[in-house]
Amino acid sequence: MEIILSPSLLAADFGILKEQITEVEKAGAKYLHLDVMDGIFVSNISFGIPVIEALRKYTNMVFDVHLMITEPQRYIERFIDAGADIVTFHIEATDKIDECINIIRNRGKRAGIAISPNTPAEALYPYLDKIDMALCMTVEPGYGGQKYMPEMESKVTALRERVDKDFLIQVDGGIGEANVLAPVNAGANVIVAGTAVFGGNITENVKGILEKCAQL
């Protein structure tokens, strides 16, 4: 199974974003994870549509947009206009789940649904045949640099049993070279890493994580 690394820009140096994304791309990352926070669904505020639109010009990486915003159906179209290739919204953030999926898919983009640590995997089961990716948070959403929660791995396993091998199962939070094999062995194939990529030597960090996954 191919393992994709999606570095989370949240941990990058925001003063030199263009240089930082060029470096992760050259080092071999295929996706770029873009964490959008509204100060309501999560207490933190990160960045939004204009930043994504500006970065789109500088890279061909897959823009993997993780919306941590309430009522995401209000903004999905605009994130797609800005350059999102995958749009992931939180199941806890809206009652209009089918509407969100339809907006994304009608624009020919890939749809993902995220579950926070307190949400069971079962919440996603009714949607698995309508989406491209399930995102299992391995920390509470809102901040980078938190501690990985291994107890989330059973949710990844339960999801993997219900989908085929091409379906994307993403894990996000507290992951780096030292612990990446645990969620991968559980069935994850898209790995988000923020601090573990942008803290220190970016090229070495990306290669280290990808080489670790290639050992499998």
Residue 88 or 214: the one with the smaller Cβ distance to Zn ion is 88
Please report the beta strands in 92-145, taking only residues with DSSP state E, as ranges in sequence order.
Answer: 110-115, 133-137
CB 170, min distance to Zn ion, A: 8
Show contacts with Zn ion in window 151-210 (CB under 5 A): 172
With CB under 5 A as the rule, give the number of residues binding Zn ion: 3
Residue choice 9, 24, 31, 66 for contact with Zn ion (CB under 5 A): 66
d(CA 67, CA 37): 7
The nearest distance, CB 86 to ligand DX5, in angstroms, is 13
Q: Which of 29, 30, 35, 159 binds Zn ion (CB under 5 A)?
A: 35
Query: Rounded to whole angstroms, how far apart are CA atoms 135 and 86?
Result: 12
DSSP state string for 24-49: HHHHT--EEEEEEEBSSSSS-B---H
Joined together, the tokens standing for residue 205 give 């960090």
Q: Catalytic pick from 13, 35, 98, 129?
A: 35
Known catalytic membership, residue 13: no
166 is a catalytic site residue = no
CA angle 138/89/24 to nearest 5° reads 65
The torsion of the CA quartet 112, 116, 120, 123, rounded to 10 degrees, works out to -40
Rounded least distance, CB 88 to Zn ion, Å: 8
Residues forming the site for ligand DX5 (CB under 6 A) = 8, 10-11, 33, 35, 66, 139, 141-146, 172-175, 192-196
Residues tagged active-site: 35, 172
Task: Give me the residues that bind Zn ion (CB under 5 A), please.
Answer: 35, 66, 172
